[in-house]
Amino acid sequence: MASKAAQKRLSKEYAAMQKEPPPFVWAAPDEKNILNWNFLIRGPPDSPFTGGEYHGVLLFPAEYPFKPPGIKMFTPSGRFSPDKKICFSMSDFHPGSWNPAWSVATILTGLLSFMLSDEMTTGSVTSSEAYKRAFAARSHSWNITQPRFKEAFPEYSSPVMRDLPNMGEKERGKPDVPPPGSSHPPPSLSMSATAPIPAAVRHMPAAAVVPDPEPAAPRKADDPTRAGAPALPAVAWTWTNWRSFIYEKWRLCAFIALAVMLSRFSTRT
């Protein structure tokens, strides 16, 4: 059960997420348990994940915001092992480096930045860009076959993949306006805590269902050909640009948090 501090903080963060969602991410709490959040990440343009849709969960402890959440990604991506906790600086693998000033938006922005990197850790896997593009092309088809995805995000469960509220148009100097005839209603908060987990992944090649659970050498001989990979849109921003932008956002948050902590320490002394 969430503490009063966690309940208040997470309610405030959900309101902030609805008002100003970060680029390429979206999240909402389970209506039965505010400590469990479902999130969606969309692959930024000009990255191996472009066109991909990745579903996962943030598992907050009752002591949040004083302790970090556990993080899992369910959708096969070629970057993380499905349904396995991911180790990075903002997860429960590193409680000593956790900063209470960080929020859901900060965590997901950091996770996206980490996803775009090549750093290996617990929960990550190694695969070629061709594999990542193949997973991205099949990601939405896979998601809409999963009961927990459909329960968490019914408004995103149609055969045609919909954009998230913030697809980074503002960051590229364009108005972030939904395509004609589309809208972005508030996300559903219904997701059963006991939703079944499928034993096999459908709509994917058998050899590419679940990546190796531990880091391995990049696959080359059996990679999908680029001819079969989805074409990348012509955009001005590169993958490096997006990584730099996300890193700068994360660094600004870390700087603000450090300033707050130093201010409190000075007041006590």
Closest residue by Cα to residue 111 from 90, 135, 137, 140: 90
Amino acid at 179: P
Question: Residue 269: beta bridge partners?
Answer: none
* Catalytic (active site) residue 253: no
The SS3 call for residue 96 is helix
Place of tokens 């409680």: 95
Of these residues, 18, 70, 83, 87, which one is catalytic? 87
> CA–CA separation, 106 vs 45, rounded Å?
20
- What type of residue sits at position 208? A
- By DSSP bridging, strand 70-73 and strand 53-59 are antiparallel
CA-to-CA distance for 34 and 186, rounded, in angstroms? 16
For residues 118 and 228, give the distance between their C-alpha atoms in angstroms, rounded to a whole number: 23
Put the strands of the sheet holding 25-29 in their side by side order: 25-29, 36-42, 53-59, 70-73
Nearest to 142 by CA among 79, 196, 205: 205
Q: Which residue has the tokens 């659970």?
A: 213
Query: Could you give the residue numbers annotated as active site?
Result: 87
